[in-house]
Amino acid sequence: MIKLKNLELRLPSGFVLRIDSLEIGEGEMFAIIGPNGAGKTTLLNVLGLLQETGAGALEIAGRNALVPSDRTALRRSMSYLFSRPCLVNDTVYNNIILPLKFRGEKDDGRAAGMLETFRITGLRDCNANQLSQGERHRVSLARAFVTRPRLVLLDEPFSSLDARGKEAIIADLGRLTRAAGTTVVLVTQDREEALSLADVLGVMKGGRLLQRGGPQELFSRPASAEVADFMGVETVLSGEVSAKSDNLCSVSVAGGALEVVSACEAGEKVLVCVRPEAVSVSKAAGAGSMRNQFKGRITAAEPWRLEYRLSIDCGFSLLAAVTRRSLDELGLKPGDEVYASFKATAAHLIRR
Amino acid sequence: MQFILEGLQKGFSLLVSGDAEVYSIVGLSLLVSVLATAVSVLIGVPLGGLIAIKKFPLKKLVISLVNTGMGLPPVVVGLLAMLLLSRNGPLGFLGWLYTPAGMILAQVIIATPVITGLSLSAMQSLDREFYRQMLTLGARQWQALWVCLKEVKLSILAAVIAGFGSVISEVGAVMMVGGNIRRQTRVLTTATVLETQMGNFDTAIALGLILLSLTFLINTALTFIQQQKAGAE
């Protein structure tokens, strides 16, 4: 659906967006994630034909998107939602059929279908400016999908919603796009939002696409420290592969040695990435299959969302995530001696 | 105080007596200013909208020029229009000097920057993303601009009121271009100046009060429409 090559865009602010290659398949849900200032919205504006590109080639639905005369026709095959729903001062119904009016098309029942899909049938005749934030977002989505676009671009569309509202809309959106086979490109800073919607993720930082892949790949095999950092890999240790047997690497880190399944070779300098969720904590040494087991002391226990983050000093710093229930059952608190374990397959090496 | 009361009395009697000359002056005043405002709206509103939404070199300079135009001295505009329309001027072939058409042209030059500037300001008060959102919904540029202008229609109406106010009450331009010819190019403002110069203060006051009343009535009607729309929203 989208093929972007050799994009180089310099903005007056000095920011440079540089994408060597990006392909998004038909029907794919692609989430672009990254910190503020990464260039996510700028990239989306390029795909939405709102931003002139400098150098590069862009093909959308098999057509050259850089030909100015084709721009309106291409824009009419896609929809783009900004983070703030820009609704006109009119009824919900008239907002939803606005794209049809622009195309000179009549409403053949599509608007009613969208009202139902996004559960806003009861708001049909209400003025859009009198709706709540969540309702405005639903109207905006209904308006974006009424033309049955092949491509939908979403720029942090749920950023102003509360958790519950977000969850409900994401579920409705996911059902609709999967049923219709719509290609979706979503920009978000929220990893969980990306995970719940996307088939493929792309991590951006500093105007570059650092890594593209499935959610599992990005979480468990980040290609660089920057990607690891953004994906929430919180234990990152510098080390060196001291030995390798089959695909099992022994890695020396300050204060210890780890075993990690990896393609790295002996002598390579690496970063060892371990997700907090992959670390098990117990009061007694375990006899399980985990190759990595370290005795350490809890230095801090901090609540984080629905869990607790334990900082454990094993000679090196290791972060573990435990549920509140586990914390209470084990009676874990700072100062306690514990055993922290993780599998060789749960850690990941990044070459330095 | 006596002057004003006499003026009020005279103004009232001029109107109810159906004085042909007074009605001719009032009619011409309205014709010239309403037409000039209408033409200025047709030019100024889309122009203000385009300047607001488009990116182009020297945009800030253009906006400065528009804002400067809002304060153009009418007598300077009149001089400019006169030079343009004089027999040897570039528009002399139109034969508009000392005619209502020439007066309309002069008032368009006065009102257009006012309406352009206020329309531009109204558009800039809209969410920056609004115009781009309309484009992404498949609108052509003119469709997107039209929707944006509808969103700020209350402010546009205020621009129209201001534009009309700037021309119905000006005297310098219409005096220079129209020549204040009886029953041809005499309007309320020029007639008031003439009567004052002749020492006919009661007539001058009467005409002035008629002008005030006319301006008040028209602005009240436009304001009523504006506030009704505001209330509906």
Contact A82 B129 (CB under 8 A): yes
In the three-class reduction of DSSP (H, G, I as helix; E, B as strand; rest coil), residue A132 is classed as coil
Q: With contact defined as beta carbons under 8 Å apart, do A290 and A268 qualify?
A: no
Q: Touching check for A129 and chain B: CB below 8 Å?
A: yes
Rounded Cα distance, A206 and A210, in Å? 9
Range 140-199 of B in CB contact (< 8 A) with A: 140, 143, 147, 150-151
Cβ of A102 within 8 Å of Cβ of B137? The answer is yes
Measure in Å the smallest separation between the Cα of A332 and chain B Cα atoms.
Answer: 51
- What is the predicted pLDDT for the residue at A252? 92
Which backbone phi and psi does A321 adopt, to 5 degrees? -110, 130
Is the Cβ pair A129, B233 closer than 8 Å? yes
In tens, the pLDDT along B174-206 reads: 999 999 998 899 999 999 999 899 988 888 888
Picking from A79, A86, A98, the nearest residue to B130 by CB comes out as A86
Chain B CB within 8 Å of residue A86 CB: yes
Identify from A101, A102, A151, A156 which residue to disrupt to test chain B contact, counting B C-beta atoms within 10 A and taking the largest count: A102
For residue range A167-219, list pLDDT tens digits in order.
788 888 888 888 888 999 999 888 777 877 788 999 998 899 999 988 777 87
Residue B125: CA atoms inside 13 Å, Cβ hemisphere, count? 13
For residue A298, the cross-strand partners are A312
Interchain pair A88, B136: CB under 8 A: no
- B233, pLDDT greater than 70: no
Residue A82 with chain B: CB contacts under 8 Å: 129, 132-133
CB contact under 8 A, B135 and A75: yes
Range(s) of chain A covered by CATH 3.40.50.300: 2-227
Tell me where in chain A the CATH 2.40.50.100 domain(s) lie: 233-351
Q: Which pLDDT score, from 0 to 100, does residue A105 have?
A: 92
Task: Establish if B233 touches chain A: CB-CB under 8 angstroms.
Answer: yes
Q: Identify all chain A residues contacting B233, using CB atoms and an 8 Å cutoff.
A: 89, 127, 129
Nearest of A272, A279, A268, A276 to residue A237 by alpha carbon: A272
Q: Strand A292-304 vs strand A280-282: parallel, antiparallel, or unpaired?
A: unpaired
- Calculate how close chain B gets to A40, using CA atoms only, in Å: 16
Question: How many percent of chain B have pLDDT more than 70?
Answer: 97
Residue of chain A with shortest Cα separation from B132: A50
Chain A touched by B136 (CB under 8 Å): yes
Q: Nearest C-alpha of chain B: how many angstroms from A86?
A: 6
pLDDT at res. A152 = 92
**What is the predicted pLDDT for the residue at A288?**
63
Query: Quick one: fold of A2-227?
Result: Rossmann fold (3.40.50)
Distance (Å) from the alpha carbon of B94 to chain A's nearest alpha carbon: 40
* Distance between A48 CA and the closest CA of chain B, angstroms: 7
Q: Which residue of B has its CA nearest to A90?
A: B233
DSSP for residue A256: E
Chain B residues lying within 8 Å of A80, measured CB to CB: 133, 136
How far apart are the CA of A308 and the nearest CA of chain B, in angstroms?
40
For A121-178, the pLDDT digits (tens) are 999 999 999 999 889 999 999 999 999 999 999 998 887 777 777 778 888 888 888 8
| Dist CA B109 CA A165 (whole Å) | 54
Query: B-chain residues within 8 Å CB-CB of A88?
Result: 147, 150-151
pLDDT score, position B232: 65
Closest Cβ opposite residue A103 in set B127, B134, B138: B138
Q: Is some CB atom of chain A closer than 8 A to the CB atom of B122?
A: no
Contacts of A327 (CB under 8 A, 6+ apart): A301, A308
Interface with A, mutate which of B126, B130, B131, B133 (most A CBs under 10 A): B133
User: Distance between CA B161 and CA B155 in Å, rounded?
Assistant: 10
CA angle (A244 as vertex; A243, A247 as ends), nearest 5: 155
Domains, chain B, ordered by start: 2-232 (1.10.3720.10)
Q: Where are the alpha helices (DSSP H) in B54-125?
A: 59-69, 74-85, 100-124
Here the ipTM equals 0.78
Indicate the fold that domain A233-351 takes in CATH. Answer: OB fold (Dihydrolipoamide Acetyltransferase, E2P) (2.40.50)
Contact call for A72 and B140, based on CB within 8 A? yes
Q: Which residues of A touch B129 (CB under 8 A)?
A: 82, 84, 86
A338: its two tokens: 């514990």
Which of A75, A88, A144 minimises the CB distance to B147?
A88
**Chain A, nearest residue to B127 by Cα:** A86
* B49 to chain A, closest Cα gap in Å: 17
Among B127, B138, B233, select the one facing A102 at the smallest CB separation: B138
Q: Is A183 on the interface with B (CB under 8 A)?
A: no
Contact at 8 Å (CB) between A235 and A317? yes
> Tens-digit pLDDT profile for chain A (352 aa)?
899 888 888 888 888 888 888 999 999 999 999 888 888 999 999 998 888 776 788 888 888 887 777 778 888 889 999 888 899 999 999 999 999 999 999 998 999 999 998 899 999 999 999 999 889 999 999 999 999 999 999 998 887 777 777 778 888 888 888 888 899 999 988 877 787 778 899 999 889 999 998 877 787 778 887 887 777 777 888 889 999 998 899 999 887 889 999 888 899 888 888 888 889 998 888 766 788 999 999 998 888 777 888 999 988 888 899 988 888 888 888 999 999 999 998 888 887 7
Chain B residues in contact with A153 by the CB 8 A cut-off are 136
The answer to whether B62 faces chain A, any CB pair under 8 Å, is no
Cross-chain Cβ contact B151/A89 below 8 Å? yes
Q: How far apart are CA A36 and CA A261, in angstroms?
A: 33
Taking only the tens place, the pLDDT of each residue in A188-202 is: 888 777 877 788 999
DSSP per-residue codes, A141-153? HHHHHTT--SEEE
Taking the C-alpha atoms of residue B144 and residue B136, their distance in angstroms, rounded to an integer, is: 10
Distances, alpha carbon A156 to alpha carbons A180, A219, A231, A250, in Å: 21, 21, 17, 42
| pLDDT above 70 for B78 | yes
φ, ψ (nearest 5 deg) of residue A89: -75, 75
CB pairs under 8 A between A and B: 48
pLDDT tens readout for residues B108-148: 999 999 999 999 999 999 988 899 999 999 999 999 999 99
Residues of A in contact with B147 (CB under 8 A): 88, 98
The mean per-residue pLDDT over the stretch B33-54 comes to: 95
